[in-house]
Structure 1
């Protein structure tokens, strides 16, 4: 891919990155930092993957992705241990560039908050957020063993109270609709969480969209109007502009910025972040964020800089923000 030739010289924060893939494997920290430096990425939200894909006894070939076959995916708490161990071996200047989020828990289990508390107490000050929490997630939801989690279930309510106690933002993947319903079928689940937990900063992964939804519905016509209202109604809502929103929302079919989305971001300049959503492999990481440069260039320079880098840092716990300011 050729990088945008007329882009401003952006510095980035990647607000949505998975250190491991669905088999809990990673290219490693050396690869990650090489790509961060190459791509002008100063900071990264780093998390595991809360499920592991099963290689079923009846499958002759190991799947490469969770959708590779019909075998299930099971909740995998050791993903956080893998992330924590990888961070411990780094020098402090590199540790300060990574912001680990806890994800290895079953969000349909009311024991989840107790597990998260144990993890926070095992490594005081390490974890900077919770997520990506998989709730409604189209085909992945169907493959996951057990109850389907919801953003507003009792287990997640307990997690949100814990997040508020520890000043941790929460990134939630909660699809706004199903693959075929052309209405915001599941929106109420997200709104319940936002309304009932005003002291929790929510990052809505992909603003409720997904690759699978777009395979069946190229564009959700109600998305812009819905987000416009929600950003007014819920000051604790932040939108992850990762790749499923780039087209056909931020950019039109000709690759030009959509004026109404530019207007929305300008109206709420601190509420949007960028994410790559890579899983365990980091080749071309900078190019994935640079794909947003065409849209960023349509914004005032100060707003573009916030979206590209600073907004994510402002969502982090106050203790980490103070730590970064002191460096």
Structure 2
């Protein structure tokens, strides 16, 4: 082989190694993190920052949990999660104050890494927008988004006190108007279907707001899926083509790829990235973001975020870093940029 061809071979080998993902060390934004759990308890800010530092998580979307799980009089043992027994969950507005208090104890450098969202309101109450407005006035300059708003949410919906929340009801329309007025994104949990229907049963509840509120930026939690859906239906074949159509139709739609989307969609059982999902992300490189969706305990943040690495490694390096870190930051209010 000539010296010229040898040099070309070495150059191509180096380029392959550089783009294969083997040497990539991503920095992340966790775009979906709950500071407290369904009992409004937390491991605290010191533990959260420790886990962020250990796992190259530069930024975090931080929010509370808008529901509190009741320990019912008839239950001898305190449940560990909302699905631990049949007792109700109820709307709990104090969750936002816990988040605000935790952030108030940080110095300016630490504080800049956190992006707090308001979640403590009842999405079937037309007073919800007034509650959010009061919080914006109580903590001027603090809040950067709204959510996670719980609407259709598996068994959690069934045990929640009051009416069934829907993403397209009148109360939420008022919230979307407020979000647009303040240039704030809305992280919305709305399951695309039920546990047994193999079609996008509830899609209209999301698509209506996207169409009717074009100036509001929506982040669709878990791409409309959930772990509970996958327990009953291993994979929903219509999810990816539905997302492709909606991303094309609605420039105000963004997709949260938090952990329940990882398998069986982004990666197969052997950890191999799905080619069609890779093509979708490459087609809309600015519209996808990652999240751990941890609730009050932070030891698994690294596992959750690094779990996306095989999928990220199969993307072009610039797209991968946007998905891992920058896309979430770019959807925040423009005044922060």
Indicate whether the TM-score tops 0.5.
Answer: yes
Q: Distance in 2 between matches of 1:144 and 1:68?
A: 14
What is the number of residues matched between the two proteins? 317
Q: Distance in 2 between matches of 1:285 and 1:137?
A: 22
Q: In the alignment, does 2:71 pair up with 1:55?
A: yes
Q: Distance in 2 between matches of 1:240 and 1:286?
A: 17
Q: Distance in 1 between matches of 2:81 and 2:123?
A: 21
Match of 2:100 in 1: 84
Q: In the alignment, does 2:83 pair up with 1:67?
A: yes
Match of 2:56 in 1: 40
Match of 2:256 in 1: 240
Match of 2:274 in 1: 258
Q: In the alignment, does 2:17 pair up with 1:14?
A: no
Q: What secondary structure, in the 3-state scheme, does the structure 1 residue paired with 2:83 have? A: coil
Match of 2:238 in 1: 222
Match of 1:188 in 2: 204
Q: What secondary structure, in the 3-state scheme, does the structure 1 residue paired with 2:157 have? A: helix
Match of 1:140 in 2: 156
Q: 1:198 aligns with which of 204, 208, 214?
A: 214
Q: Distance in 2 between matches of 1:198 and 1:96?
A: 29
Over alpha carbons, which structure has the higher Rg? 2
Match of 2:14 in 1: none
Deviations along 1:152-202, one digit per CA (max 9) or x if unpaired, are 100000000000011100000000000000000000010001000000110
Match of 1:159 in 2: 175
Match of 2:3 in 1: none
Pairwise CA RMSD: 0.8
Q: What secondary structure, in the 3-state scheme, does the structure 1 residue paired with 2:68 have? A: strand
Q: Distance in 2 between matches of 1:206 and 1:250?
A: 12
Q: In the alignment, does 2:165 pair up with 1:149?
A: yes
Q: Distance in 2 between matches of 1:284 and 1:50?
A: 22
Deviations along 1:235-270, one digit per CA (max 9) or x if unpaired, are 000000001110000011221000000000000000
The alpha-carbon deviation at position 7 of structure 1 amounts to: 5.6
Runs of 5+ consecutive residues of structure 1 not aligned to the other structure: 322-327
Output the TM-score relative to the length of structure 1.
Answer: 0.96
Which aligned segments of 4 or more residues in structure 1 are displaced greater than 4 angstroms? none
The alpha-carbon deviation at position 19 of structure 1 amounts to: 0.1
Match of 1:324 in 2: none
The alpha-carbon deviation at position 6 of structure 1 amounts to: 3.1
8 Å contact 1:194–1:236 — kept in the other structure? yes
